[in-house]
Amino acid sequence: MKYNVLILLSFRLFDKFEELENQKSLITDSLEIIKNSNSKLSYDELLEQNRQLKHQIQEIQKILKKSGSILSHREAKYRALYENAPLSYQSLDVEGYFIDINPAWLSTLGYSWEEVIGKNYADFLHSDWKSIFEKNFAEFKRRGYVSDVQFKIKHKKGHFIDISLEGYIGTHPDGSFKQTYCVFKDITEQKRVEDALIKNQFYLSKAQEIGKIGTWELDILNNKLYWTKQNYKNFGLSHKTSLNYEVFLNCIHPDDRDYVNRE
């Protein structure tokens, strides 16, 4: 989870660097306009204004040059993270259309950049998940973040993979929606193992029910006893009963308690 957040923040920072580059360009253009503008000042006043403006321009250009070098270094750093991040990254616009993805996304799902950018996210989802996405996306934009949201998304080869998604909403300076910043991991194998475990637990429970066999585990250090459902039935206790060794011992016939306790 923490690693996912760090990657998301890195993508957001990378986007901020691009904004700063655009702002730097706007400042430079504005200064050129001011520098070349005409004035109705006297000749001496105009010379003095030009001198001051030239000095200010030089100072600002020094700052921009220095910041540009820093930005270039950081941009290269975050560009490398963007291109080599192990998690799949995606960015959607306010309507849910793709505006950015990273190489890991393409590698995970088998598509090319041109097959994804400009398409709606719902177009890649399993039919059972399309309406869920529409509902969740509206809530995502309202709340500003999501964590461990699961979907089934379509691979280019036609099969679906299970994913777990984390994300944040990026905003403009006025607070309005700009884009999403999301990463996801492939949990297909994890879900397969979880489903198999649930199925095996069901079969075990049924086998114990048919054979009236219960299993248990005793935590000796903390004096806590754990029973399967069938064990509660075998001893005639409610499954809400708080269990420990003494509770179990009281279920034993008085004549047998000393023997059980010794063993």
Q: In this structure, what CATH number is given to the domain that contains residue 242?
A: 3.30.450.20
State residue 11's pLDDT score.
Answer: 54
Residues 68 and 146 in one domain: no
Residue 205 lies in a domain: no
Residue 248 lies in a domain: yes
Residue 183 CA: distances (Å) to CA of 24, 28, 88, 148? 30, 36, 5, 10
Residues 63 and 131 in one domain: no
Model confidence at 111, in pLDDT bands (50, 70, 90)? very high
* Among candidate residues 30, 53, 84, the one where a domain is terminated: 84
- Tokens representing 4 are 């996912």
- 128 contacts 105 by C-beta, under 8 angstroms: no
- 78 contacts 10 by C-beta, under 8 angstroms: yes
Residue 202 lies in a domain: no
41 pLDDT above the threshold of 80 = no
State residue 220's pLDDT score.
Answer: 81
State residue 207's pLDDT score.
Answer: 77
Residue 120 lies in a domain: yes
Residues 89 and 70 in one domain: no
pLDDT top residue among 48 and 8? 48
pLDDT top residue among 34 and 161? 161
Residue 19 CA: distances (Å) to CA of 3, 70, 78, 158? 25, 14, 14, 38
Among 91, 31, 34, residue whose Cα is nearest residue 60: 31
Contacts of 120 (CB under 8 A, 6+ apart): 95, 96, 97, 98
* Among candidate residues 151, 186, 221, the one where a domain is terminated: 186
Beta bridge partners of 163: 151, 186
- The residue segments making up the domain with residue 96 are 85-186
- Tokens representing 253 are 């016939």
Residue 203 lies in a domain: no
Euclidean distance between CA atoms 208 and 78, whole angstroms: 56
Total number of domains in the chain? 3
Residues 172 and 89 in one domain: yes
Could you read off the pLDDT of 131-189 as tens digits, one per residue?
989 888 999 999 999 999 999 999 999 999 999 999 999 988 898 999 999 999 999 99
231 pLDDT above the threshold of 90 = no
pLDDT top residue among 18 and 83? 83
State residue 223's pLDDT score.
Answer: 84
Among 71, 59, 57, residue whose Cα is nearest residue 23: 71
64 pLDDT above the threshold of 90 = no
Residues 73 and 100 in one domain: no
Residues 153 and 115 in one domain: yes
Could you read off the pLDDT of 70-102 as tens digits, one per residue?
555 555 555 555 566 678 999 999 999 999 999
Residues 48 and 15 in one domain: yes
Task: Write down the mean pLDDT value for the chain.
Answer: 77
Residues 163 and 104 in one domain: yes
Residues 78 and 138 in one domain: no
5 pLDDT above the threshold of 50 = no
Residues 43 and 76 in one domain: yes
Per-residue burial over 139-155, b if 16 or more Cβ lie within 10 Å, else e, is ebeeeeebeebebbbbe
Euclidean distance between CA atoms 84 and 202, whole angstroms: 42
State residue 113's pLDDT score.
Answer: 93
* Among candidate residues 84, 103, 118, the one where a domain is terminated: 84
Residues 66 and 95 in one domain: no
